Amino acid sequence: MATLDLDELLAGTVVGSAAAIEPLIRELAADSATRISFRGDLRLVVDGPGPGDVPHLLDVAFPEPPQVEDAARALKLAAGLLREQGASDQVALGWGAELARDLRAQASEVGMRPRAVLQPLRLALTGMTSGPGLDLLLAAIGPEEALRRVHQMRFAIERDRGGIEAGRG
């Protein structure tokens, strides 16, 4: 898979061969054994998890109430940073890496492990707990779509977890 050219990788998908997402596509292809697994992972990145998928994803990834509360806190931090990024007139090259770095710093400031902040963000963005680098994911989908997916996950936490307050904003 990793040796195919970009057009061959994307044949039959709705994804254009934009240079901005080529590093992400290459990383997905390198981790995919088959075209089917590649397309499945690519669909998750491009489309994100559907609203109906989110409650199940939360149950699997964060089965205990304290984990859900931590995920809600993490997503609130991510939403704040994504909102700031989306409000800027121009998204700078490398903004995804900067956002991940800022999230790690904020996690330390509030006494959370960086992984406890980044994993819920990855789950909200793709429905997966592992995969390509967050910087590549964020660059591929952009701050507005990333914020939409984070809000979708936060709403599911508030609705489906007995009113756990994820905070507004």
Interacting residues of 120 by C-beta distance below 8 A, sequence separation 6+: 61, 62, 70, 71, 74, 75, 78, 153
**Counts of helices then strands in the chain (DSSP H, E):** 8, 0
pTM of the model: 0.79
Ordered per-residue pLDDT tens for the chain, 169 residues: 666 677 777 776 656 556 567 777 888 888 888 878 888 888 878 788 888 888 899 999 999 988 999 999 999 999 999 998 776 655 666 788 888 899 999 999 999 999 899 999 999 999 988 888 888 888 888 888 899 999 999 999 988 756 544 444 4
